[in-house]
Structure 1
Amino acid sequence: MAQSIYADIGGRDAVESVVSDFYDRMFADDDLTPYFDGVDKQALFAHQVQFISAVAGGPVEYDGDDMESAHDGMGITHEAFDRTAENLEAALRENDVPDEHVEAILDEVEALRDPVVEEDVEAPAGAV
């Protein structure tokens, strides 16, 4: 049986490092920070670690809201979704995740575009 991406990249410590780098990038991006106004960043970090762990085949089951419910009313645009994926890719690569695993994780993220992006909702002021 093939080893999971989660195990291959170094397990929970590696995922936490990726997520930490990812949010450093997200919170430094002036076009994306409006999406995080009033958000509990510790809870967000914990959910993201759980989500990435589950996507990467780790021994973790994501128990957060489904993607559509979790992002409903946030006004996430295609541009914001793309920037988020770019930040995740940069964080994965910064943490030496092998290319094939980066692509597999980004494919899983891309599959979430439709439930996350809201076509007819206005983005927060100052957001892309």
Structure 2
Amino acid sequence: MSQQASVRFIGESKAGPATTLYDRIGGDIMVDKAVDIFYKKVLTDERISSFFENIDIMSHGINQKKFLTMMFGGPNTYCGKDMHSAHAHMRLNESHFNAMLDNLIETLRDLDIFEDDISEIVAVANCVKDDVLNR
């Protein structure tokens, strides 16, 4: 395989040019895999696992998949709470948010997502940071 075959230009993916982030990362299949792997990591992360002790993780994961699909430019079937309302009862701080991002980035790298797409996903997460942290 030539080195050029692994090079990707801005706006181009394996699927071709001008696709959404959702399409570039692999659509439903990859969102599902990412959320499943992500929550396995989160549930064992001592920095944040306590926030999920009384959560129906299966139901939460389904909502998370719908939310991320929407945020990444896929079909919008999310009908859950907005980020501020969903996290209002929690006392989250910057270190909690960063722990979630650490787990997310690790998950995406485990799935061989392109680094520029990971950067875009982190930017999407940062768009809701103030709401998640109730600022």
Q: State TM-score, norm by structure 1.
A: 0.86
Task: Give distance in 2, aligned partners of 1:15 and 1:45.
Answer: 10
Taking the TM superposition and a 5 Å limit, the aligned residue runs for 1:88-127 are 88-118=104-134
Q: Is 1:38 aligned to residue 57 of structure 2?
A: no
Unaligned runs of 5+ in 1: 120-128
Taking the TM superposition and a 5 Å limit, the aligned residue runs for 1:19-38 are 19-38=35-54
Taking the TM superposition and a 5 Å limit, the aligned residue runs for 1:41-60 are 41-60=57-76
Out of 82, 86, 92, the position equivalent to 2:98 is 82
1:55–1:105 contact (8 Å) kept in structure 2: no
More relative contact order in 1 or in 2 (CA 8 Å, sep 6+)?
1
Task: Give distance in 1, aligned partners of 2:71 and 2:121.
Answer: 7
Q: CA RMSD in A?
A: 1.4
Equivalent residue, structure 2, for 1:67:
83
Identity of aligned residues (%): 29
Q: Which amino acid in 2 is paired with 1:43? A: S
Q: State TM-score, norm by structure 2.
A: 0.82
Mark the structure with the bigger radius of gyration: 2
Unaligned runs of 5+ in 2: 1-16
| Number of residue pairs aligned between Structure 1 and Structure 2 | 119
Deviations 1:9-63 (A, max 9, x none): 2110111111111101100101211101211111110011111111211123422
